[in-house]
Amino acid sequence: MSQAKFVAGIYAPTKYLYAFKDNLADADREMLSTCTAFILSKTEIITNAHCVAGAPYIYVVVGTKAALEKNLIKVEKEHIAYHPYYSHLIVGAFDIAKVTLKTPLEFSDTVGSIKLVDKDYKLNDPSEVVTAYGYGVLNNIEPMILRRCDANYISDVDRVGAFNPRQTLYFTTGEATNDGKIITPGDSGGPVVSKTNGKIVGIAVGINGATVDRGMFLPITSFLGFIHDPKSVKPLPPSLTPNEAKFLADISVPGKFLTATKEAFANTEEHVRIRSNAIILSETEILTCAHNVHGAPYVYIIVNKLSRNPTKIKVTEDQIEIHEKYSFPGFAFDVAKITLKERLEFNDNVGSIDLVDKDYKLNDPSEIVSVYGDMILDRTARTRRFDTKYLDGAICKSELGDRFDANLLMCYTLDESMGTPCAFGGPMVSKKNNKLVGMTIDRFPDEPVIFQPIAPLLDWIRKPRVGRNQRRRI
């Protein structure tokens, strides 16, 4: 233990944990799950969120080679903080928690702390060796004995899956003492220590399901703010209520037909669909991006999308009109109108939004607009609203180059704390008059979000629908 005096164990009543309660709802309330943790100071313990989230209390054990249920330190839930972006439905993401002890630990030859790497530390050398510690079970057979495993981290090029490197990294077995396994049950929350400087570089969270010989860990530099002060992390903005987003709809399209995605989804089934946003203009009119529907023989419109009883309406190609000047790929005139055969029934959760006048100019840099739509922040899409200011066309042009036509389009800055747009076609609403002034079109990483102003399109939006035989096909 003198070699690993900074390693602690975590016990929690399994039936209460968010990560397990659905499967173990009928379990004995005293049945405890075991995880690993590390000691940051005499009163601070760091572990995985999935090891503690939902538990009314947990136990901490220190200074022991075997994670035995003795000399336990009980900690009530008010002294447990887990990352506000954590979701038990998403493996690995923001899976970190901080436990604060009321009574300080007594440090000794077998109980002590370990330091964290600095915020500017870069784990970018594939030859660098790290050591993972944990109370893992081998071959599902107890007892849970503290072990360590030396490993190499995997570079960006070799990383499997589409994980955000700021949230999740991988390491792979080097010299393993875990019977050839790098992560086993009970190792969750264990420290990953640099062999170079002896400091914490990560927290083990599990294995990559695609390659069982690869462990996943959270890079500590991404979570220093939370570790030092959990309250400093702003909670996720709540999802909108059905009433707040009653003019927001969804478009669901088989990816294999959609022009924008058909190459990537060519071998998929029709039930594999792309989800986008749309806007309700009236009981029979839906507005969305052209690229959300272009090429599809049919689409589904989902209204009352945030309630428990959303309405899904199938729409065929003859009900979809795409702007005659739209061309894929492209941003200008990326607009489509869908005409429903049956009128929507408006209520508290389903309604329309008014359009701005034709002479409306969004040219005041101080004017605030609200952007609605599906956003990703914690790897799950949630319907949110955030306020922003539009950017001058010259700024957008300098950022986006020839892809951006300042005479036809505008853009706005993205507040990264609100998430990243994942479904385009959402409304942009003026805070001044509560009318629709624009529609989100597209965004590339680290660039402004492009939107289509509504005023220049009013004549096209309001004109009678063109018959199927007169439609211009792209």
Binning pLDDT at 50, 70 and 90, where does residue 299 land?
Answer: very high
In angstroms, the CA 164 to CA 157 distance is 13
Average of pLDDT values for 399-403?
Answer: 73
What is the SS3 assignment for 129?
Answer: strand
Same fold, 7-232 and 250-339: yes
**Pairing relation of β-strands 320-322 and 410-412?**
unpaired
Q: Which of 25-29, 108-112, 232-236, 362-366 has the highest mean pLDDT?
A: 108-112
Multiple choice CATH, 7-232, 2.40.10.120, 3.50.50.60, 2.60.40.420, 3.30.70.1290: 2.40.10.120
CATH topology of domain 250-339: Thrombin, subunit H (2.40.10)
With vertex at residue 169, the alpha carbon angle to CA 214 and CA 53, rounded to the nearest 5 degrees, is 95
pLDDT band at 421 (very low <50, low <70, confident <90, very high): confident
The yes-or-no verdict on residue 376 having pLDDT over 90 is no
Q: Classify 303 as helix, strand or coil.
A: strand
Instruction: State the Cα–Cα distance between residues 12 and 30, nearest whole angstrom.
Output: 9
- pLDDT tier at 471, thresholds 50, 70, 90: very low
| Domain extent listing, the chain | 7-232, 250-339, 368-458
The pLDDT assigned to 161 comes to 41
pTM confidence score: 0.58
Of the candidate ranges 168-182, 269-283, 378-392, 405-419, the one whose mean pLDDT is the lowest: 168-182
**Among 66-75, 285-294, 443-452, whose mean pLDDT is lowest?**
443-452
**Residues of the chain by 3-state class (helix, strand, coil), percent to 5:** 10, 35, 55
End-to-end CA distance of the chain: 70
Q: How many CB atoms lie within 10 A of CB 135?
A: 29
- pLDDT one-digit tens code per residue, 446-468: 677 888 899 989 999 988 765 54
Pick the range with the lowest mean pLDDT from 1-10, 72-81, 379-388. 379-388
Q: Higher confidence at residue 310 or residue 468? A: 310
Summarize the confidence of residues 94-119 as an average pLDDT.
Answer: 94
Count of C-beta atoms within a 10 Å radius of residue 451: 27
User: What homologous superfamily does CATH list for 368-458?
Assistant: Trypsin-like serine proteases (2.40.10.10)
In this model, does residue 127 exceed pLDDT 50? yes
Q: Which residues pair with 368 in a beta bridge?
A: 389
The pLDDT tens digits of the residues spanning 7-41 come to 999 999 888 888 876 555 555 556 788 899 999 99
Alpha-carbon span 391 to 422, nearest angstrom: 21
Average pLDDT over residues 188-214: 79
Give the tens place of pLDDT for each residue, 209-260.
444 556 778 888 889 999 999 998 877 666 788 898 899 999 999 989 999 8
The residues, ordered by sequence, that sit 6+ positions from 228 with a Cβ below 8 Å of its Cβ are none
Q: What pLDDT does residue 414 have?
A: 67
pLDDT at 324: 93
- pLDDT tens digits, 171-192: 554 444 445 456 677 889 999 9
Cis before 329? omega within 30:
yes
